[in-house]
């Protein structure tokens, strides 16, 4: 693909704006509180925009549209779950968590259960979840940049990681908050405007070459189409198709006309496929091969109901266990503001998720070649020029590319900030310079993993991160906030059981993706097993160790649940900071 100057201009504009906003927001960042929680003075509306900005990640901007294009009705659970997770957060966690006065999730664990060992264990899981979530963001950045340029995928990951680390180094949470709030509106514009104009173009297309999405037929190629297969795939062929192939098909050399009957075909990486106009589109195995199946919920032979419930568990409950989301509630002045923030977030997310669904459906009509390679995450980037092959289409494509980069930057910033926060306060000494060291480490580890690891599709990677969060911090927070009987041993064993099972599933899924895709639904969607296992383990072990219930549990519960106006809430001291650091903060000088 040639150099796309329009798209590169959009990327450059977002990069410059991000750096400029970060520099402006960093002017008032001096103390540890400024770097970790923006001084706890962020208003509800600003914080809601910032949360929506960091939460709408590569999975939301690229992945949801790609999943709708590929999987149809089953993919709608992703936007529903991503949004509804904030309803659970509003009901069970937001206000009590803010009233706890903690700076980070490990800080909450120690404040509630009085265990330094549990705090260290929570630190490990914050870092693991943050890095697990960061890798698909950097992979998405690589996909976007390689789609519009000749550059290798690692270049996009390096660009995003570099910008994020520089912003946090100079301004911490104060800089990140402003950047993320603005980037929400960039992302909404970048996906909303193209969706609107592409719908108008579709409605004005009086003679579409594709069968309607309601027709029980496979999609077709509307023109002669050449597909470069960069990763080996197994394809499902619903209707007979004649094509030309150069490379290896079904483990045999091919260099000319090929006939595929209904069934399964194996295509090796590096193969070039040329389909004539009107040919039915083969799809990656496991995806609905025709529009009738695409519209039908619970498609698939392997435990479709289990997969759906697992996805619901992961997305509904995973939100309240994501460290980069929860740390934003510490930036509100009080619990009432935290609740208002969550309500605003629900509105902002509901508005955004209307548009990826529309783009996914249109992509099935206009860029069906992505179904052959399975790279449907690129649908948002390629659809505008496929529908409008003119300057306006290229302008819309540049806008979507800019929005995609805004998604990678804002989510990556929140993740790096949350990991850097726990590294600085729990591994280092908690000073400002330690936050900066933690920031470099938090950005370098996932960047290295992105370069050397194989890739999953973006939403599947993020779904596994949600499953891990739902299996660890969700039960810790729900039980820690609402059940007096939780003990430190119960919480620790529950974290190990739930998190260990979820991480094992993640590793197995990554290995399977590079070794024939042998992982079943129990591994690719584990939350329906791992979340109940974590809750049950915490309850049972806490019952066994009931003598370890903290003696100050009544005071802690009162602080979390009493209305703000009664004045029981109290922010904790700077965790792990030394005496000199606390003295400087008390005098308003900060630390260097």
Encode 307-360 in three state secondary structure: HHHHHHHHHHHHHHHCHHHHHHHCCCCCHHHHHHHHHHHHHHHHHHCHHHHHHH
For the record, the structure tokens of 373 come out as 């390679």
Residue 483 reports pLDDT greater than 90: yes
- Provide the 10 A C-beta neighbour count for residue 93: 24
Predicted pLDDT at 197: 94
Mapping DSSP to helix (H, G, I), strand (E, B) and coil, where does residue 299 land? coil
Most confident of 199-213, 375-389, 469-483, 513-527: 469-483
CA distance 275 to 214: 23
Residue 577 reports pLDDT greater than 60: no
Alpha-helix residue ranges (DSSP H) falling in 149-303: 153-203, 291-295
Mapping DSSP to helix (H, G, I), strand (E, B) and coil, where does residue 206 land? coil
Q: What region does 588 belong to: left with phi over 0, alpha with psi -120 to 50, or beta?
A: left
DSSP category for residue 550: -
Predicted pLDDT at 421: 78
Comparison of pLDDT for 219 and 509, the residue scoring more: 219
CA distance 169 to 92: 33
Report all structural domains of the chain as residue ranges with CATH numbers, in order of start.
Answer: 31-202+330-459 (1.20.1730.10), 225-280 (no CATH)
Per-residue b or e along 249-260, where b marks 16 or more CB atoms closer than 10 Å to that residue's CB: beeeebeeebeb
Q: Are strands 241-249 and 233-237 parallel, antiparallel or unpaired?
A: unpaired
Q: Are 433 and 591 in contact (CB under 8 A)?
A: yes
- Report the C-alpha dihedral over residues 468, 469, 470, 476, rounded to 10 degrees: 120
Model confidence at 459, pLDDT cuts 50, 70, 90, reads low
Q: Are 438 and 419 in contact (CB under 8 A)?
A: yes
Q: What region does 260 belong to: left with phi over 0, alpha with psi -120 to 50, or beta?
A: beta
CA distance 104 to 61: 27
Alpha-helix residue ranges (DSSP H) falling in 374-487: 379-387, 391-422, 432-452, 458-470, 473-482
Predicted pLDDT at 589: 37
Q: Are 539 and 490 in contact (CB under 8 A)?
A: yes
CA distance 514 to 454: 7
In DSSP terms, which residues pair with 264 in a beta bridge?
236
CA distance 8 to 145: 8
C-alpha closest to that of 28 among 164, 177, 160: 177
CA distance 569 to 559: 5
Model confidence at 522, pLDDT cuts 50, 70, 90, reads confident
CA distance 245 to 256: 6
Average pLDDT over residues 201-230: 81
DSSP category for residue 592: -
Comparison of pLDDT for 296 and 25, the residue scoring more: 296
CA distance 218 to 227: 17
CA distance 419 to 102: 15
Entry pTM: 0.82
Model confidence at 506, pLDDT cuts 50, 70, 90, reads confident
10 Å CB burial of residue 503 (0-12, 13-18, 19+) is: buried
Point out the least confidently predicted range of 287-291, 522-526, 544-548: 522-526
pLDDT digits (tens, 9 = 90+) for 170-189: 666 666 777 788 889 999 99
Predicted pLDDT at 592: 34
CA distance 295 to 278: 22
Average pLDDT over residues 207-220: 76
Q: Are strands 233-237 and 263-267 parallel, antiparallel or unpaired?
A: antiparallel
For the record, the structure tokens of 215 come out as 């027709």
Average pLDDT over residues 545-558: 91
CA distance 462 to 66: 14
Indicate the angle between helix axes 64-71 and 379-387, nearest 10 degrees: 70
Predicted pLDDT at 161: 84
C-alpha closest to that of 499 among 121, 204, 188: 121
Q: Are 10 and 402 in contact (CB under 8 A)?
A: yes
Percent of the chain with pLDDT over 70: 85
CA distance 471 to 208: 46
Helical (H) or strand (E) element with 252: strand 252-260
Residue 590 reports pLDDT greater than 70: no
């Amino acid at each position: 693909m040639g150099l796309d100057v329009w798209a590169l201009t959009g990327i450059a504009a977002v990069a410059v704006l991000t750096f400029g906003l970060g520099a402006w927001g960093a002017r008032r960042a001096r103390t540890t509180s400024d770097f970790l929680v923006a001084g706890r003075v962020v208003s509800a509306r600003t914080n809601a925009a910032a949360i929506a900005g960091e939460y709408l990640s590569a999975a939301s901007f690229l992945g949801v549209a790609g999943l709708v294009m590929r999987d149809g009705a089953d993919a709608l659970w992703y936007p529903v779950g991503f949004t509804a997770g904030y309803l659970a957060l509003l009901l069970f966690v937001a206000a009590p968590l803010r009233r706890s006065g903690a700076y980070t999730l490990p800080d909450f664990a120690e404040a509630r259960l009085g265990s330094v060992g549990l705090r260290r264990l929570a630190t490990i899981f914050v870092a693991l979840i943050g890095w697990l979530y960061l890798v698909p963001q950097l992979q998405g950045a690589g996909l976007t940049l390689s789609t519009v340029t000749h550059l290798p995928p690692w270049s996009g990951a390096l660009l995003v990681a570099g910008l994020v680390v520089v912003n946090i180094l100079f301004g911490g949470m104060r800089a990140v908050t402003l950047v993320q709030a603005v980037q929400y509106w960039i992302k909404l514009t970048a996906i909303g405007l193209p969706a609107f104009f592409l719908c108008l173009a579709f409605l004005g297309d009086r003679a579409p070459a594709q069968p309607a999405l309601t027709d029980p037929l496979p999609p077709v190629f509307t023109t002669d189409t050449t597909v470069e297969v960069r990763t080996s795939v197994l394809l499902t062929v619903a209707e007979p198709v004649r094509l030309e192939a150069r490379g290896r098909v079904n483990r045999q050399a091919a260099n000319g006309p090929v006939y595929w009957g209904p069934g399964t075909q194996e295509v090796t990486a590096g193969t070039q496929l040329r389909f004539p106009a009107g040919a039915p589109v083969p799809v990656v195995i496991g995806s609905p091969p025709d529009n009738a199946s695409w519209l039908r919920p619970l498609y698939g032979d392997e435990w479709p109901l289990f997969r759906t419930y697992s996805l619901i568990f992961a997305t509904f409950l995973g939100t309240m266990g994501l460290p980069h989301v929860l740390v934003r509630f510490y930036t509100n002045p009080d619990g009432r503001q935290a609740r208002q923030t969550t309500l605003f977030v629900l509105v902002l997310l509901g508005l955004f998720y209307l548009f990826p669904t529309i783009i996914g459906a249109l992509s099935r009509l206009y860029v069906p070649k992505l179904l052959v390679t399975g790279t449907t995450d690129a649908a948002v980037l390629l659809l505008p020029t496929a529908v409008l092959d003119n300057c306006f289409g290229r302008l819309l494509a540049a806008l979507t590319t800019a929005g995609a980069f805004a998604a990678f930057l804002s989510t990556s910033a929140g993740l790096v900030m949350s990991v850097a926060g726990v590294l600085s306060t729990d591994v280092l000494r908690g000073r400002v310079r330690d936050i900066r060291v933690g920031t470099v480490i938090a950005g370098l580890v996932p960047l290295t993993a992105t370069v050397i690891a194989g890739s999953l599709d973006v939403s599947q990677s993020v779904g596994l991160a949600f499953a891990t969060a739902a299996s660890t911090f969700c039960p810790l927070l729900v039980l820690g906030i609402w059940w007096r009987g939780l003990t430190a041993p119960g919480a620790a064993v529950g974290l190990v059981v739930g998190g260990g099972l979820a991480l094992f599933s993640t590793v197995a899924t990554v290995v399977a993706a590079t070794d024939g895709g042998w992982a079943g639904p129990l591994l690719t969607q584990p939350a329906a097993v791992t979340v109940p296992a974590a809750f049950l383990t915490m309850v049972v072990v806490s019952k066994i160790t009931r003598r370890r219930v903290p003696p100050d549990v009544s005071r802690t519960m009162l602080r979390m649940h009493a209305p703000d106006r009664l004045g029981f809430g109290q922010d904790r001291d700077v965790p792990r900071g030394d005496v000199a650091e606390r003295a400087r903060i008390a005098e308003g000088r900060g630390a260097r």
